Chains A and B, each alone.
Chain A
Amino acid sequence: MALHRENGADGVTRASGRIAVWRGGVCGVAAVLWWFVAVAPVWADQELALTIRNHQFEPSEVRATAGTPILLKVTNADTAPEEFESTALNREQLIRAGHTITIRLPALKPGTYEFFGEFNPQTATGRLIVK
């Protein structure tokens, strides 16, 4: 009899635990959705374009204004894949041959931010100058 009651109590704890997990999940999904519609920026203010040709960036130097977010479009015109990498910008994105990717950057402080192609770091180098 005592054993029976214990099982019952355990069942109730489990059920309430499950409800808590469900509530948490629903709140999480709602928070993510909220980001999409109400917080995530739909557009950035500056758009810059770069092309990779013969394992080199063209142009190898781009300029941007400080304080506004940046969209950096990088086109890989080579037949081999490349990876855009910048430790200073904290970005690392793969670009397949013939494809264009968009690198989203927050508003930056004035300075020089170097980037390179990870697969050809000797030739594919460039910098972003923010003023």
Chain B
Amino acid sequence: MLATFVITWRETIEAALIIGILLAYLRKIGHQHEFRYIFGGALLAVLASGLFAGASSLATRLVEGIGEELFDALILLAAVSVLTYMVVWMHHNAKEIKGELLSKADQALARHQLWALGTLAFVGVFREGVETVLFLWGLFLQAGPVADMTWQVTGGLVGVAVGIVMAWLFFKGFGHLDLRPFFKVTGILLLFISAGMLSSAGGRLIAAGLLPPLVEPLWDSSWLLSERSLVGSLVAGLFGYRSHPSLLELLLYVGYFPLVLIWLRRQHHDLAQ
């Protein structure tokens, strides 16, 4: 039961963090009436995950082999684009805020920004959704003592439920921060999540044989932090930690930050003109 719980909980925690931040962000800037974009995106992702996981063998054959890896990479790259875009406009919002101790601002949000938030909610949930649905479905199919299976399925479902509760806790927790620290903390968290996704996308493309790993593995840090440990699995799920990374994944991870900084600075420059 504990094993199945840990798997689904780990799969849902990243989505929980993203959804929690999105909801807290909307409330911070006085747009709680737009929560439906977030819930809509997340709900649609759950449905899409179910559909994709249960797709007929014809559909899975279409994306089989390198197709599935390529598909994963595209989802990840879409998530990176929307996340980066969001961090840039959050940074811009933070600049406009005058009072240091303000806890709430009333700021205009363009329609395309709302759609971006909805898309982010969708991608955040869909990214691990297919795998979670397949895993839970596999538990149902597994042969074995009925009582044992019931415990395993319960563990899996509790993991998902705890993930949802965590989204709410993140929402509450970030909601207590004042505006400035809110933008700073969530912005940095989102950047690290995004860098992890970019490096994972590279990993998928390496697995598909479309990109060279350059050097693989570059090092082995499993003696310090293993992905199979409690903390390691969290850091891996949230920030894309790998104990045996390839050089390409590392370059993508590290190279992402200066690129975002250049974009932020250019945007700042444009606004100043």
Contacts and interface: CB of A to CB of B under 8 A. Distances in A.
A103 B222 CA distance: 22
Contact of A81 (B64, B138, B220): B138
A107 B206 CA distance: 13
Given A35-B211, A87-B227, A94 B141 contact: no
B246 A90 contact: yes
Nearest to A111: B220
Given A40-B209, A41-B209, A99-B64, A94 B244 contact: no
A90 B245 contact: yes
Contacts of A122: 3
By CB atoms of chain A within 10 A, which of B138, B208, B242, B246 has the most? B138
Interface in B130-144: 130-131, 134-135, 137-139, 141-142
Interface of A (DSSP majority class) = loop
B154 interface: no
Contacts of B69: 93
A83 B244 contact: no
B64 A88 contact: no
Contact of B135 (A88, A104, A119): A119
B68 A90 contact: no
B207 A93 contact: yes
Contacts, number: 76
Interface in A90-117: 90-91, 93-94, 96-97, 99, 101-104, 106
A61 interface: no
A121 B3 contact: yes
Contacts of A99: 60, 64
B93 interface: no
Interface string B139-157: 1011000000000000000
B203 A90 contact: yes
Number of chain A interface residues as a range: 20 to 34
Interface in B40-98: 60, 64-65, 68-69
Given A106-B213, A106-B216, A119 B60 contact: no
Given A90-B245, A102-B65, A35 B210 contact: yes
A104 B209 contact: yes
A19 interface: no
B107 to A, nearest CB: 26
B7 interface: yes
A104 B207 contact: yes
B243 interface: yes
Contact of B212 (A39, A81, A90): A39
Nearest to B133: A81
B226 interface: yes
A79 B244 contact: no
A36 B210 CA distance: 7
A79 B142 CA distance: 8
A84 to B, nearest CB: 10
Contacts of B227: 87
B244 A87 contact: yes
A91 B207 contact: yes
Contacts of A36: 210
B173 interface: no
A58 interface: no
A80 B64 contact: no
A35 B211 CA distance: 8
A80 to B, nearest CB: 3
B246 A94 contact: no
10 A-B pairs with least C-beta separation: A80-B138, A81-B134, A80-B141, A90-B244, A104-B209, A81-B138, A87-B227, A106-B216, A79-B141, A87-B243
7 contacts: A35-B210, A80-B141, A90-B217, A90-B242, A93-B68, A101-B65, A104-B206
